[in-house]
Amino acid sequence: MGVVMEKIEELTREVCEELIRPKEKDIEENGLYIPETLSKLGELGFFGVSFPREYGGVGLTFEEAVKSSIILSSYTSTISMIIGAHQLASLSIFLFGSDTLKQKYLSQLNKGRLIGAFSLTEPHAGSDPSSIKTAAFLNGDYYILNGTKAFVTNAGLANLYVIFAKTNPESGARGISAFVVEGDSEGLAVGHKEEKMALPYLPNAALVLKDVKVPKENLIGRANLGFIVAMKTLELGRILTSAGAVGLMERALHESIKYAKERTQGGQPISNYQIIQSYLAEMKTLLETSREIVLTAARKKDSNSPDLGLYSSIAKYYATKSAVDVTRLATQIFGGYGYVKGYTVERLYREAKMYEIVEGTNEIQKLIIANNILKG
């Protein structure tokens, strides 16, 4: 197994060096080459590393998928986050969807022929999904959906959405259902597009649903199971997000080491100064600790461990917090240049903050961790 993992990591890095490295600046700063890069990565299996081959996946472990994600995100946060958001849709269908839904959509999703999005958050319902207002009611052979979603990653790029709506408004979280909604459905429209402090070409926008007809066969699982669908999917999504944070830290450390060896002050490289050495040591420690926590969480998934949810939140909290700390230290090492547009660490510092917010804020992760250890 170790040899297989090493080979997968080697192949992933080779693909990234050939496909992404020469275009990184254009992808991240100008939004160029994104569709064709996604298409090529889909052909190569990056969208479905841990999904079974019968559904168009590569058939490897979740740990291997996480290792691949770490490498990819060290080259590009934009592409990595697009694929991560896409996989939330794929995972929802794989974990809870009917055989019909799996056969209809998963192979296309896992080969990148369809791009997915996961739509739970609303303007007034973020950390508390029970407060969502989007409603769905059954009318013959169709559910009719109405409402507005917010901060939908891949909105506009996606042609398949997993959308959560209330089918029993009086039941709070127990009244939520999940649906597969095709992107060209009548009444479905992309709303306000957010301008973020980083990742300008990562699609993120509102989604407006006005009398959208969804075949009842597109219900994921059963009616009123949506909260469970969302939470179990997000357990895995948080591990993938954490992997992205680890990749970001890898890149920040690499850039910092290179700069510290090349930049001279007082007639010598700044890497000779103990304060710079202490920053690099702290960055390396945070990186490797985060890596082990994230891989431990991935192994929990592969072994069907009952404490997967706990370790998913630990990984999300620690790795994303560490990413902010590591990129802050990288910026300090670069000094004034670390605050200048065009330098990679300046971009990484801004990107790191997003990891602390998506897939459930770090404050929510601490609540989940505390609840788990107190009930134990």
d(CA 192, CA 166): 23
**Angle, nearest 10°, between helix axes 62-75 and 2-19?**
30
Catalytically active residues are 359
Q: In order of start, what are the domains of the chain with their CATH numbers?
A: 2-110 (1.10.540.10), 116-224 (2.40.110.10), 228-375 (1.20.140.10)
Taking only the tens place, the pLDDT of each residue in 195-240 is 999 999 999 999 999 999 999 999 999 999 999 999 999 999 999 9
Q: Which pLDDT value is given to residue 126? A: 81
pTM above 0.85, yes or no: yes
- Percentage of residues in the chain with pLDDT exceeding 90? 95
Q: pLDDT-based confidence at 59, cuts 50/70/90?
A: very high
Q: Is the separation of the CB atoms in 111 and 103 below 8 Å?
A: no
Residue 7 has pLDDT above 90, yes or no: no
What is the band of 42 on the pLDDT scale with cuts at 50, 70, 90? very high
Q: What is the pLDDT of residues 139-195, one digit of tens each?
A: 999 999 999 999 999 999 999 999 999 999 999 999 999 999 999 999 999 999 999
pLDDT of residue 5: 64
At CB < 8 A and 24+ separation, what contacts does 53-62 make?
Answer: 55/94, 55/102, 55/106, 55/107, 55/110, 56/106, 56/107, 56/108, 56/109, 56/110, 56/111, 57/106, 57/110, 60/4, 60/8, 61/298, 61/302, 62/236, 62/239, 62/298, 62/301, 62/302
Segment among 53-57, 169-173, 322-326 with least mean pLDDT: 169-173
Confidence class of residue 376 from pLDDT cuts 50, 70 and 90? low
In the predicted model, what is the mean pLDDT of the chain? 96
pLDDT of residue 127: 82
Percentage of the residues of the chain whose pLDDT score is greater than 70: 98
